[in-house]
Amino acid sequence: MRYSRVSSVGEALTAMERPGAILYAGGTDLMVALTRDRAPSPGELVDIKGVQAARGIRDDGARLRVGALVTAAELANDPLVSSFASALRDAAAATAAPMLQARATVGGNIATPHPAPDVAASLLTLSATVCVATGPDAVERLAVEDALIRGGLGRLESGGASPAMILAVEVPKATRSAFGKLGTRGAFSRSTLAAGVSILDDACRVVLCGDTARPFVAESVGAALSRGNHLCDSIAADLQAAITSDGSGTVPNRARLRLIAGLVRATAERAGAREGDR
Amino acid sequence: MNGDGVVIEFTLNGKQVRSPGSSARRVLDVLRHELGLTGTKDGCGVGECGACAILVDGEPRLSCLLPVAEVAGLTVTTIESTDDEAVERVRSAFLQEGAFQCGFCTPGMILVASRIPAGASDDEVRAAISGNLCRCSGYAGIIRAVRRAGAGDPDAPGEHGGSA
């Protein structure tokens, strides 16, 4: 297996046209897949960490632009992210342990959201858009949910009709948002249950993950939260709909529904939800 | 992973070394199997246990997830290093505190702990070593050792005990 470095989007897309080439950034999933033989060994690892267009966090007015190569550690410590995308900061800070946070990238979590989709779930909470480079100057924009529904963009990158690379995410600024998760071990665990809450234009948006294959927007839960209603029935209904759509998972028992409700309420409180939010 | 004919050179514990195998080979395998430095442990292999931790240009990294090509031209420090003062200080504190039982986690734990700022609280130490699992659950002694090494007072009241 070869290893190569590229420093521009054009070089990355050209490299992907070589047989067996696969993009490589943090490697937190890819290296595991390769060394454990869960994935066929590619002919070439194309290291994209030198692509400047996919780096950095900047204020674009109504949105933040977060480069696909930004790491969880960078997200967790960035003042812009803290101010305008707290859910993203929370998720990044809760992602694994420091050495993995230093490597795991935003783009990687969208392309390979399993088994720890915390960052992807927080981006869904914040209604982010994924920018995918399909040419040196051509960018396609996808809603995060579309990217996740398409099974992650890894498929698009490696098997699509034409090469493509996740370049960045655009995150609408939200001064009220939070992300919380529960796991078996406080310091470093894959979430067994996670919830993101954002309030934009006084509307609550709730995202749940842990009981379904992908994080999903729990619309009834958001509405029930705004009205101050009990959440368990809404959670059960939203989970049922998500499971039907996903084709996997089971609606949890009442005890777990209460646990999810508690997590949603606690996360909403941290996000700054208040009575009257829609 | 087959060789690709590329020779990777880097500085290992103060000495220049060459790895002629595949440039995509894990640093962990190069250290243990090519260079014979078995202090770096092959634990979970998926980045969860921290037994394979090394320092790359002074920063803690998981050698099980790192292709050797990524350390080309860089400085790698392993537990066999004898010229890193911070590593030496933590190693000494581990001995003084008896901060190991089976010892499997110790190399990675010492290297990661060597980069914890002096005076870190117990909670900060716990957060910093949260990616290093001690299966013997000897965290209390480890935290005391880290605080001793960082010139924190290991006998400070109200900060002892617990697990990472």
Hey, of B48, B52, B63, which one would you mutate to test binding to chain A, going by the most A CBs within 10 A of its CB?
A: B48
Across chain B, which has 164 residues, the per-10-residue mean pLDDT values are: 76 96 91 97 93 97 96 98 94 95 96 94 92 93 93 45 41
Give residue B116's identity as a one-letter amino acid code. I
Q: Is the pLDDT of residue A155 over 50?
A: no
Percentage of the residues of chain A whose pLDDT score is greater than 90: 61
**Partner-chain contact B62 A103, CB within 8 Å:** yes
Give the pLDDT of residue A236. 94
Which has more confidence, B155 or A201? A201
Contacts of A25 in chain B (CB under 8 A): none
Contacts of B60 in chain A (CB under 8 A): 98-99, 102
- From residue B41, alpha-carbon distances to A145, A271, B90, B132, B136 in Å are 40, 42, 18, 12, 16
**Partner-chain contact B4 A2, CB within 8 Å:** yes
**Partner-chain contact A188 B26, CB within 8 Å:** no
**Partner-chain contact B45 A34, CB within 8 Å:** no
- What are A6-51's pLDDT values in tens digits? 999 999 999 999 988 989 999 998 888 887 766 677 889 999 999 9
- What are A97-121's pLDDT values in tens digits? 899 999 999 999 998 877 778 999 9
**Partner-chain contact A31 B64, CB within 8 Å:** yes
Cα radius of gyration (chain A)? 18
Query: How close is the nearest chain B Cα to the Cα of A35, in Å?
Result: 8
Inter-chain contacts counted by CB atoms under 8 A, chains A and B: 80
- The answer to whether A124 touches A215, Cβ cutoff 8 Å, is yes
Hey, of B65, B74, B132, which one would you mutate to test binding to chain A, going by the most A CBs within 10 A of its CB?
A: B65
Q: How large is the average pLDDT for residues A135-148?
A: 90
Residue A43: how many other CB atoms lie within 10 Å? 13
**Partner-chain contact B67 A187, CB within 8 Å:** no
Give the pLDDT of residue A125. 96
Give the pLDDT of residue A34. 82
Query: How close is the nearest chain A Cα to the Cα of B127, in Å?
Result: 7
Which has more confidence, A158 or A164? A164
Q: Which residue of A has its CA nearest to B68?
A: A3
What tokens appear for B15 in the block? 């000495």
What tokens appear for B116 in the block? 């914890």
Rounded distance, CA B143 to CA B122, Å? 7
Give residue A56's identity as a one-letter amino acid code. G
Instruction: Please report the ipTM that was assigned to this predicted complex.
Output: 0.87
- From residue A266, alpha-carbon distances to A139, A197, A274 in Å are 38, 10, 12
